[in-house]
Structure formats: structure tokens, C-alpha cells
């Protein structure tokens, strides 16, 4: 059996940086240590950190119960008001926001101050998008698909700034931007989709088109992994979405000649290697 593993599979720069920052705080021995939401969307990593004493605050309200310690802002980032709340409570702050997400925050704050309405193309329920919204104002809107587009008001006479969730599907972003352009609005379009995300999606689609079965590895709550699955599923009907090797059913690929493997940006290297080893071991 031929097994193709995507070169771009696994931790991206921003995720690796965020996870490293948490382990560095653990080594200092200065607690308590909390992350505002799971540091990344991978259950295995979060579980290991919890076993080492890192507490996950489920929401911003959890900050109100803290009177000391360190709060780590996860890779997805947060709105400006959250920084203000952490500082107001006198808590230590470690900012593990992905630099590419941080760049969007600066863009939104700057363009909003210039009077442009911010349009975020992405999933409004994703923590990254919620954080980006927090650097705009009450006029800021989130658009995910054509259905959302149809429900928008008329922006004639307004100036718009369009940005994207870093892990959004590039082709879908382009399609939605084109629809804004067709309406003749005054728009400033900034493609803020991470290059690593684009490369990962392109490679995943290419491999999926060449194999008999495709395995996508990542947390169930990982937006970028879910998008990889959707891309691969279009190219290969035998595409499987698993979190760890424990979810893998060898029988599902036992009769194929070739298998492709890719993984989301929050998937540790050891999990990818375990899946690879198990697939290669199928007789």
C-alpha cells in the first residue's frame, strides 16, 4: 500500500508558539496558570496541560473569579476589552495570540478608526472571529456564506474593509469578495488567510485527488481541520476524519491501494506519526 503524508500536516507556527509559551510558564513554577479557553483545539494537548496544573477558563466571566496568577491568551486571540479586564484585575498576562491573527486585530482597529465598516469573512462562532470582532465596533459584521450575504443591508455610500478568518477556505473567500465587488461598493479587501492555511488546503486537495482513501487527523472542534476534511471529501469520497489513532478503523482502508494523510494545524506530530505507522502496518 502506498501512503502519502502531507508535508504541511501538523502544528503551524502560531500553534507551536502558543503551546510552547504555556509549557514555558509551567517551568517557571509561578502559578496558578490559566488559559482563556483551550490553548488550541486539540483535546490531547489540552488534557496534558491540565494534568500539569494549567486551568482552562471556559469563558471571560471566569476572569472575575481570579485574584492572582497568570492568564494566557490563546492562539485565537481576544477582543481589546478582554486585555483591559485582565489588566484591571492586576493579573499577569502572557499573549500567545498567533502573530497573523494579531495583524488582523491591528488592521481592524486602524481601518475602523478611519471610518470603514469592518466585514469579517469567517465563522461567527469561532473564537478567532469573536476576537477580531472585538477590535471593531457595533457596525462590524461577520459573513460566512451566500445565505449571510443575502441578509446584509445595502452598503451604498459606506466604505468597507473586508478581512478573513485566518483558517477560512480561500476559494470561498474569493467567491464572497467577488459578490461584494459586483455590488459596486467602496471596498478595501485584505486577504488575511494564513499562507500556511492556504498551502495546507491546496496540498490536502492535491493528495486526496491522487489516492483511494484519505485520512484527516485533528480535533473535532478544530475549524481548520474541518475545512481540510471538506476539501478532501470533494476530491475523495473515502475520506475519514479522526482525532487520534484510537478512532482509526484499519478495515476502512484495508482493501485500497493508496492512502493519503493530512492533519490540522492543532494536531501534534506524534499523533500523525502514530496514524502513519498504523496505516503502513496494514497487510
User: Residues 216, 239: contact at Cβ < 8 Å?
Assistant: yes
Residues 157 and 175 in one domain: yes
CATH number of the domain enclosing 161: 3.40.1010.20
What CA dihedral angle connects 178, 182, 188 and 193, to 10 degrees? Answer: -10
Task: Give me the tens of pLDDT residue by residue for the chain, a chain 283 residues long.
Answer: 899 999 999 998 899 999 999 999 999 877 799 999 888 888 888 999 999 999 998 766 678 778 888 999 998 999 999 999 999 889 999 999 999 999 999 999 999 999 999 999 999 999 999 999 999 999 999 999 999 999 999 999 999 999 999 988 888 999 999 999 999 999 999 999 998 888 999 999 999 999 999 999 998 888 889 999 999 999 999 999 999 999 999 888 888 999 999 999 989 999 999 999 999 888 6
Cα 197 from Cα 246, distance rounded (Å): 26
Given 161, 193, 225, the domain boundary residue is: 193
Cα 119 from Cα 142, distance rounded (Å): 6
At a CB cut-off of 8 Å and minimum separation 6, what does 267 contact? 9, 10, 11, 42, 217, 218, 219, 222, 225
What distances in angstroms separate CA 271 from CA 8, 31, 239, 266, one per listed residue?
Answer: 14, 29, 18, 11
Given 62, 97, 132, the domain boundary residue is: 97
What distances in angstroms separate CA 72 from CA 49, 76, 247, one per listed residue?
Answer: 13, 11, 31
Q: Running DSSP on this structure, what letter comes out for residue 258? A: E
User: Residues 238, 249: contact at Cβ < 8 Å?
Assistant: no
Q: Which residues are catalytic?
A: 128
247 closest CA partner among 282, 217, 283: 217
Report the relative pairing of strands 141-143 and 117-121 from DSSP bridges: parallel
Given 51, 75, 97, the domain boundary residue is: 97
The residue range of the domain holding 241 is: 2-10+196-280
Residues 40 and 88 in one domain: yes
Amino acid at each position: 500500500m502506498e501512503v502519502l503524508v502531507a508535508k504541511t500536516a501538523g502544528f503551524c507556527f502560531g500553534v507551536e508558539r502558543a503551546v510552547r509559551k504555556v509549557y514555558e510558564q509551567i517551568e517557571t513554577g509561578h502559578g496558578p496558570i490559566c488559559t482563556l479557553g483551550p490553548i488550541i483545539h486539540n483535546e490531547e494537548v489540552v488534557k496534558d496541560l491540565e494534568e500539569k496544573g494549567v486551568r482552562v477558563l471556559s469563558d471571560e466571566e471566569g476572569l472575575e473569579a481570579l485574584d492572582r496568577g497568570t492568564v494566557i491568551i490563546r492562539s485565537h486571540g481576544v477582543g481589546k476589552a478582554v486585555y483591559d479586564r485582565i489588566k484591571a484585575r492586576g493579573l499577569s498576562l502572557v499573549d500567545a495570540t498567533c502573530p497573523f491573527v494579531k495583524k488582523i486585530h491591528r488592521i481592524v482597529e486602524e481601518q475602523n478608526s478611519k471610518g470603514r465598516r469592518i466585514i469579517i469573512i469567517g465563522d461567527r462562532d469561532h473564537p478567532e472571529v469573536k476576537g477580531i470582532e472585538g477590535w471593531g465596533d457595533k457596525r462590524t459584521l461577520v459573513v460566512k456564506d451566500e445565505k449571510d450575504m443575502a441578509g446584509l443591508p445595502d452598503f451604498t455610500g459606506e466604505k468597507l474593509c473586508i478581512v478573513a478568518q485566518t483558517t477560512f477556505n480561500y476559494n470561498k473567500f474569493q467567491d464572497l469578495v467577488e459578490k461584494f465587488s459586483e455590488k459596486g461598493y467602496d471596498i478595501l479587501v485584505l486577504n488575511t488567510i494564513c499562507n500556511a492555511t492556504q498551502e495546507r488546503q491546496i496540498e490536502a486537495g492535491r493528495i486526496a485527488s491522487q489516492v483511494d482513501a484519505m485520512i484527516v487527523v485533528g480535533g473535532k472542534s478544530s475549524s481548520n481541520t474541518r475545512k481540510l476534511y471538506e476539501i478532501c471529501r470533494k476530491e475523495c469520497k473515502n475520506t475519514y476524519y479522526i482525532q487520534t489513532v484510537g478512532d482509526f478503523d484499519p478495515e476502512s482502508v484495508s482493501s485500497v491501494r493508496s492512502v493519503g494523510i493530512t492533519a490540522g494545524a492543532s494536531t501534534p506530530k506524534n499523533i500523525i506519526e502514530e496514524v502513519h505507522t498504523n496505516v503502513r502496518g496494514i497487510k
